[in-house]
Each structure stands twice: as C-alpha cells, then as structure tokens.
C-alpha cells in the first residue's frame, strides 16, 4: 500500500516500527537489537475474558517460543491484553511482554525496551535512527527536573550529576564538568573526548548552558543582552536571575526561562548554530497575544492579521479534535453534518467500536478525500475515520498556507519576551568546546513559517494539535 507523507514519531513507539529497524543499548553502543514484530493478543478481540484465560495463553506462549521472554510489568486483574515486542539480538530471539488493559490503542504504550530488564545495569534498547540517537539519552530538562522551581546556575550540573541511569557515565561527567565551569564564568572549558557525543552536547548540553551563559555574562554580543535586560527586566539584572525549566514538554517556543527577583521572566530559546526550527505548538504565540492585546502598539498587528490571530486562538483554546474540526468548518472543508459524523466516528474508535466505522457512512465528499489520500491500510491500527481526518488535514494545510502567517508570526514575535541563544562548538582532535553564545533579540526568523497539519494526523490516529515549524533564525 502507498505510504503518503508517513511520519514516524517516537511518541507512537513500536506500532510504527518496521521489521529490521535497529535499536541500541544507550550504555553500550555495541549492544544492538533488531526489531522483528509487535504481537498483540488476544487475536480477534480487545481483551481476554478473564485473568485465567490470559495467564493460560501466556504460559503456552512462553513454553512454545524459541528465545528468552522478559516481563516488563506484573499484571493485575484488569490487565487483560498482551503487548509483546519481538527483538533479535546477538543472544538470539527475545520477547518483551507488557500487560495492558486492552489492545484497543497500542500507540505510545512502549517506545523503547526499559533499562535494567535484561539484567541489573543494562541500558535497555532505544530506537537507533539518526533522530532518535539524539533523543535516546535521558538528559533533557524534563528528564532531570521534576518541578519548575527556580534554580541557580550551580544547581543545574548538580542535578544532572544525580541522574541515576539513562546517560553514559562519560557523557554525564562531561556535561557536569562543563556546566560547572560555565557557572563559574568559564566558557572556554575543554570537554575532553567530547567529540564522541558532540550531537548530544550541541542539542542538550547547549539547552542547559544557554540560561547559565546569560546569567554569567558569557554571551558573545553583550550589547544585545544589555538592551534586552533594560527592556524586559523592569530595572533588574540578568546576573540576579534564577533559571526555570518548564515542565510542559513542547508547549512553548522556549526551552527555559530566566526569572528576575521582581518576578519578570524572559524566555530562552536555545539552538545549535547549525539547527533549524523545530515543530512546536502555538502556545508561545498565543501567550504573547494575550499579554499584548491591551498594548496600544500591538493593535496594528491585531487589525492586520485577524485570520491568523483567530487561527492561533482557536487551536490553543480548544482540544486537538475540537480545534481541528473548527478550523475545517471555518475553511469550508466540511459542513455541520460532516462535522458531527466525524465526531461520532472518532467516538466509536475511542470506545473500542472502530469496526463500526465504514466507508459507506461517509458523505460523497468525504469518500473523495479517502480516494485522494494514500494511507497505510495494512496497519492493524488503521481506521477509515482517521484516513479521512489525515486527508482533510493536508487540504487544511494548503488553505492555511494561503494566510499571511509568516508575516503575522514575525510581527507577533517582535512583542515577545523571548531571546534566542545560538550555541556554537569548536573542535580540536577528540576534544570540543561550547564557547560561543550569540543572543538574538527581538527574535528574528528568515524563510517561511509553515503550518504543520500533517505531523499529528495519520491514518491511525489524531496525535495532537495543529502546529507550525519555525525556520532557522538569521545569524
């Protein structure tokens, strides 16, 4: 079957893996595993009738397969489904069993093989694609910090040092030593052997380092920082600020905040110098609109881009499904009858009645959407309603692309209390330095801002809200 604009997302996990996909032990890159298949039981039903039937099946499975069976969790009486990942390693076939309530929606149940399962200290297996290599270590702020309490620069490396697993020890030590030196005002610290993990340092060490560099005055262009300080902090100094990492993942344009004693916050968007903008939701722009809507200087922007402002408000203020369907109605891609039909069919899938959705239920216009958009109908999670919503999402993207969204976003960001930090690394043999931090304020973006209606709308589910992709900022 045709796979049209097929996006593999780590949040979906094993249902979107293909036979032969590679996985790597984060603690030992030489320890590799190959994905074979995902097995969902029982066949022909969403759940076993009772725990006894489940346990009998699992006992037979364990005794009949060739290879080692590992159990990820212990079942209770309500867990009547089996989610089994079949992997192939140097040791042979391996089966990783997770007990679930039912198998109605396997997306996101498991994205990697957990650590310490095969043996104490084993790192598990994480997906080994080029993108996933950057994601496989537990070194994002959301992995390190469990609250958004303000932190001093010195507390950042101290917290990373306490992360118990998920990071190779040599990488962890490199991060801690460098960030400790930066907190002391030394950005020229040499990360010995850092070339081995250069990608992780550019993506994640830089994310921790950016607010530290601001507070410790290690930004390359201090004239820009001084202007931002004067405008944004209400008489306070960056040197007196604390650091806050937001707990909401991918909800704002920023990676961290620097917070002044008077409570004012400046968002920090940290990027590697070679990086491009990442897909993000629209909450960052929405917050700026809400903060500035009574500002007399902002009124021209509100009047100039009413369609874009309404689009942002609609997406942010509503659920993923409601906001999406409202935008379809606004752009006249569906009518009220089709809106209700799609809601009813989505409700069927959520309540385990997905088989009740049929092609014949669709209006002629929606049937044409199915015919015009290729989806992976062989995927066991495929449903006709998500085929429709995925196809409509592409049409919606074309409609929204006709709005002056690039110009509107740039105008809105001129009122944003956000600075961009571009971190740069230099290399000498196997060693590196993260010794360049360029601040951009007000935020600048070149290229075209693209509305992303494809990422979260596939033939198997609606994963999240409409988002957008920001281009690389001007250097």
pLDDT digits (tens, 9 = 90+) for 367-395: 999 998 887 787 777 899 999 999 999 99
Please give the average per-residue pLDDT across 244-251, as a whole number. 69
Residues in CB range of 168: below 8 A, 6 or more apart: 26, 27, 137, 197
Residues in CB range of 77: below 8 A, 6 or more apart: 51
Alpha-carbon span 99 to 380, nearest angstrom: 19
Is residue 12 very low, low, confident or very high in pLDDT (cuts 50, 70, 90)?
low
Decide if 458 contacts 394 (C-beta within 8 A). Answer: no
Least confident segment among 158-167, 202-211, 329-338: 158-167
Is residue 272 very low, low, confident or very high in pLDDT (cuts 50, 70, 90)?
low
**What's the gap between Cα 141 and its chain centre?**
13
Decide if 15 contacts 107 (C-beta within 8 A). Answer: yes
| pTM of model > 0.85 | no
Give Rg (Cα) of the chain: 25
Is the model's pLDDT at 93 over the cut of 80? yes
Is the model's pLDDT at 157 over the cut of 90? yes
Most confident by average pLDDT, 53-62, 139-148, 252-261: 53-62
130 C-beta neighbours (distance < 10 Å), count: 7
Alpha-carbon span 185 to 173, nearest angstrom: 18
Is the model's pLDDT at 413 over the cut of 90? no
DSSP structure class, residue 201: I
Least confident segment among 23-27, 193-197, 205-209: 23-27
**What's the gap between Cα 383 and its chain centre?**
24
Task: Return the higher-pLDDT residue of 435 and 282.
Answer: 435
Alpha-carbon span 178 to 190, nearest angstrom: 8
Helix (H) or strand (E) holding 344: helix 336-350
Which tokens sit at 338? Answer: 């089709």
Give the residues across from 287 on adjacent strands. Answer: none
Portion of the chain with pLDDT greater than 70, in percent: 90
Is residue 11 very low, low, confident or very high in pLDDT (cuts 50, 70, 90)?
very low
∠ at Cα 467 (466, 469), nearest 5°?
A: 150
Helix (H, G, I), strand (E, B) or coil at 158: helix
Please state whether 13 falls in left (phi above 0), alpha (psi between -120 and 50) or beta.
left
Which tokens sit at 58? Answer: 């699992």
Please state whether 278 falls in left (phi above 0), alpha (psi between -120 and 50) or beta.
beta
pLDDT score recorded for residue 216: 97
Alpha-carbon span 3 to 373, nearest angstrom: 9
Give the residues across from 271 on adjacent strands. Answer: 422
Alpha-carbon span 322 to 471, nearest angstrom: 28
The structural domains of the chain, with segments of one domain joined by +, span 14-129, 141-287+413-444
**What's the gap between Cα 64 and its chain centre?**
39
Helix (H) or strand (E) holding 233: none
pLDDT score recorded for residue 138: 63
Is residue 346 very low, low, confident or very high in pLDDT (cuts 50, 70, 90)?
very high
Is the model's pLDDT at 275 over the cut of 50? no
pLDDT score recorded for residue 274: 45
**Prior bond of 42 cis (ω within 30°):** yes
Please give the average per-residue pLDDT across 283-306, as a whole number. 89
Alpha-carbon span 201 to 211, nearest angstrom: 15
Is the model's pLDDT at 3 over the cut of 50? no
Is the model's pLDDT at 247 over the cut of 80? no
Alpha-carbon span 280 to 216, nearest angstrom: 29
450 C-beta neighbours (distance < 10 Å), count: 18
Please give the average per-residue pLDDT across 50-60, as a whole number. 93
Is residue 277 very low, low, confident or very high in pLDDT (cuts 50, 70, 90)?
very low
Please give the average per-residue pLDDT across 165-179, as a whole number. 90
Is the model's pLDDT at 130 over the cut of 70? no
């Amino acid at each position: 079957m045709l796979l049209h604009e097929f996006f593999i997302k780590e949040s979906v996990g094993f249902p979107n893996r293909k036979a032969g996909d590679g996985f790597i032990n984060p603690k030992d890159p030489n320890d590799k595993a190959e994905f074979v298949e995902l097995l969902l039981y029982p066949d022909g039903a969403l759940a076993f009738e009772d725990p006894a039937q489940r346990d009998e099946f699992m006992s037979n499975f364990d005794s009949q397969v060739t290879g080692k069976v590992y159990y990820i969790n212990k079942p209770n009486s309500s867990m009547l489904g089996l989610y089994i990942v079949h992997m192939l390693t140097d040791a042979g076939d391996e089966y990783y069993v997770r007990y679930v309530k039912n198998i109605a929606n396997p997306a996101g149940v498991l994205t990697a093989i957990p650590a310490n399962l095969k043996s104490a200290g084993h790192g598990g297996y994480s997906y080994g694609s080029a993108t996933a290599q950057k994601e496989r270590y537990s070194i994002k702020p959301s992995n390190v910090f469990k609250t958004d309490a303000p932190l001093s620069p010195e507390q950042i490396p101290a917290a990373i040092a306490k992360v118990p697993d998920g990071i190779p020890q040599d990488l962890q030590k490199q991060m801690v030593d460098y960030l400790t030196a930066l907190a002391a005002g030394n950005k020229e610290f040499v990360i010995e052997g850092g070339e081995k993990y250069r990608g992780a340092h550019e993506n994640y060490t830089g994310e921790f380092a950016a607010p530290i560099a601001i507070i410790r005055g290690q930004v390359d262009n201090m004239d820009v920082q001084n202007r931002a300080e004067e405008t944004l902090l209400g008489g306070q100094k960056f040197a007196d600020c604390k650091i806050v990492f937001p707990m909401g993942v991918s909800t704002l344009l920023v990676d961290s905040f620097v917070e002044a004693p008077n409570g004012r916050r400046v968002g920090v968007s940290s990027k590697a110098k070679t990086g491009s903008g990442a897909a993000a939701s629209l909450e960052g722009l929405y917050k700026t609109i809400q903060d500035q809507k009574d500002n007399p200087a902002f009124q021209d922007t509100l009047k100039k881009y009413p369609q874009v402002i309404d689009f942002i408000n609609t997406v942010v203020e509503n659920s993923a499904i409601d906001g999406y369907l409202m935008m379809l109605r606004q752009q006249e891609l569906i009518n009220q009858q089709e809106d209700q039909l799609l809601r009813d069919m989505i409700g069927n899938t959520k309540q385990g009645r997905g088989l009740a959705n049929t092609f014949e239920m669709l209006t002629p216009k929606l049937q044409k959407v199915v015919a015009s958009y290729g989806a992976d109908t062989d995927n066991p999670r495929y449903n006709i309603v998500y085929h429709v919503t995925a196809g409509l999402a592409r049409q919606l993207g074309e409609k929204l692309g006709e709005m002056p969204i690039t110009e509107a976003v740039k105008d809105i960001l001129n009122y944003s209390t956000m600075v961009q930090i571009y971190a740069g690394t230099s290399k000498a043999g196997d060693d590196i330095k993260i010794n360049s931090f360029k601040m951009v304020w007000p935020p600048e973006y070149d290229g075209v801002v693209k509305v992303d209606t494809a990422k979260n709308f596939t033939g198997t589910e609606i994963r999240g809200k409409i988002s957008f992709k920001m281009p690389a900022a001007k250097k």
